[in-house]
Amino acid sequence: MPIKKDEVRHVAQLARLKLSDKEIDYFAGQLARIIDYIDQLKEVDTSGVEPTDHVLSIQNIFRKDNVKPSLTKEAVLKNAPASEAGLFKVPRIIEEL
């Protein structure tokens, strides 16, 4: 299926890419081959294939959550460069309007 140069330009614009005429010709050919391959895959008979969400059988591999004691607020803030009122103090990165 041939891809028009205008279609490649449109996709490039959506992706905020500047392409030369040579690149547009190159990518038009590549996209046409990709679409031809997809059309070829559509012809495969999958009527006897069960739908799957993963090719391997997977199981829950998460460990059991166990409550453990955590650090105190003072211990956490001990190595902080700056703290105030029991919180980390960081430089402002957003300007006020």
pTM: 0.48
pLDDT tens track for 76-90: 999 899 999 999 999
Q: Is residue 97 part of a domain?
A: no
* Domain count along the chain: 1
Q: Which contiguous run of DSSP H or E holds residue 74?
A: helix 73-77
Residue 86 lies in a domain: no
* Chain segment 36-64, per-residue pLDDT in tens: 999 999 999 989 888 887 778 777 778 88
- CATH number for the domain spanning 13: value is 1.10.20.60
The answer to whether position 82 is within a domain reads no
3-state secondary structure of 35: helix
| Alpha helices by DSSP H, 2-43 | 5-14, 21-42
Q: d(Cα 82, Cα 80) in Å, to the nearest integer?
A: 5
Q: What's the longest Cα–Cα distance across the chain?
A: 67
Q: 14 is in which domain, residue-wise?
A: 5-42
Q: Is residue 70 part of a domain?
A: no
